[in-house]
Amino acid sequence: KAGVTQTPRYLIKTRGQQVTLSCSPISGHRSVSWYQQTPGQGLQFLFEYFSETQRNKGNFPGRFSGRQFSNSRSEMNVSTLELGDSALYLCASSYYEQYFGPGTRLTVT
């Protein structure tokens, strides 16, 4: 079975721009969760989608949004980027335990 894939792997953007990250879950997994991780920090939960519906949401501003498609692929969007948004963004798909993709490392300059 193919693992979780995320694209792009690396991204450099400037303040004020927007960005869209993509995640393809493991086949058969209907739940996709997104996390932000900054150096020395734990995983900060952004949101979780299940069958195209947002099931849980973390404490992030409205600039962070996401969606899930009928094939379970998911995207997250960050608008009006800030320097503090520089982080590793991880996607995880699950049937029960979560399996993580390699992440997208976003740098905002």
Partner 1 sequence: GQNIDQPTEMTATEGAIVQINCTYQTSGFNGLFWYQQHAGEAPTFLSYNVLDGLEEKGRFSSFLSRSKGYSYLLLKELQMKDSASYLCAEMDSNYQLIWGAGTKLIIKP
Q: Which residues bind partner 1 (CB under 8 A)?
A: 33, 41-43, 45, 48, 55-56, 90, 96-103
Residues written for the chain: 109
Question: Cβ closer to partner 1: 31 or 81?
Answer: 31
Q: Which two tokens stand for residue 47?
A: 């949101």
CB of 80 to partner 1, least distance (A): 27
CB of 90 to partner 1, least distance (A): 6
Q: Which two tokens stand for residue 21?
A: 């990250």
CB of 20 to partner 1, least distance (A): 20
Question: Cβ closer to partner 1: 36 or 81?
Answer: 36
CB atoms within 10 A of CB 32: 29
CB atoms within 10 A of CB 37: 15
Question: Cβ closer to partner 1: 56 or 107?
Answer: 56
CB atoms within 10 A of CB 90: 23
